[in-house]
Amino acid sequence: MRRYHDEEWGVPLYDDQKQFEFLMMEVMQCGLNWNMMIQKRDIFRKCFDAFDFDKVAAYGGEDIERIMNTDGMIKSPRKIQAVIHNARCFQEIRSEFGSFSSYIWKFTNGRTYLYMGHQKGAIPAKNGLSDLISKDLKTRGLKYMGSVTVYSHLQACGMINDHLESCFRYQELLDCSDTVLKRRDHEG
């Protein structure tokens, strides 16, 4: 967990394969704890071809069975099927926008949001921005894309800087991103 926090969480992310990995880990996490996801990350990578969305989009019934029979894998056929389905939707978004990163970053005009109060620890589970993106992802067919899941993804991929002011990553990420300060009552 510490390495994930110190090296990945909150860093602005523009690589589509990593976007897919982070987003699908959120899908697998629904109802479970994040520490478990970090511990099973290598298993997920093995099961889903290192989160190569083009390969995952081509999966069929044999692949679902193979994944279900992998030692240490979360045994949820619905989540596994959702990852496969979402890979196909991911491809459609890439086709329309050129990349998934172009699509998702358009919601913030390519900027990282820093909400007033969050750096002091007043961090919500979801907000207006995650509500908006969640709704859009669902209309595009993606599954397990509730606002809480999307908010977690926005934090992970650096669209929202929710590091505490006391965290060494807070200032580092401010320095490396185009950040805009947002009022909590103007979230989107």
Would you please indicate which residues are annotated as catalytic (active-site) residues?
4, 26, 34
Residue 96, CB-side half-sphere exposure with 13 Å CA sphere: 11
Planar angle of CA 121, 123, 127, nearest 5 degrees: 160
Determine whether the annotation assigns residue 163 to a binding site: yes
Determine whether the annotation assigns residue 167 to a binding site: yes
For the chain, the three-class secondary structure string (H helix, E strand, C coil) is CHHHHHHCCCCCCCCHHHHHHHHHHHHHHCCCCHHHHHHCHHHHHHHCHHHCHHHHHCCCHHHHHHHHCCCCCCCCHHHHHHHHHHHHHHHHHHHHHCCHHHHHHHHHCCCEEEECCHHHCCCCCCCHHHHHHHHHHHHCCCCCCCHHHHHHHHHHCCCECCCCCCCHHHHHHHHHCCEEEECCCCCC
Residues annotated in a binding site for Zn(2+): 5, 163, 167
Going by the annotation, the residues of the binding site are: 5, 163, 167
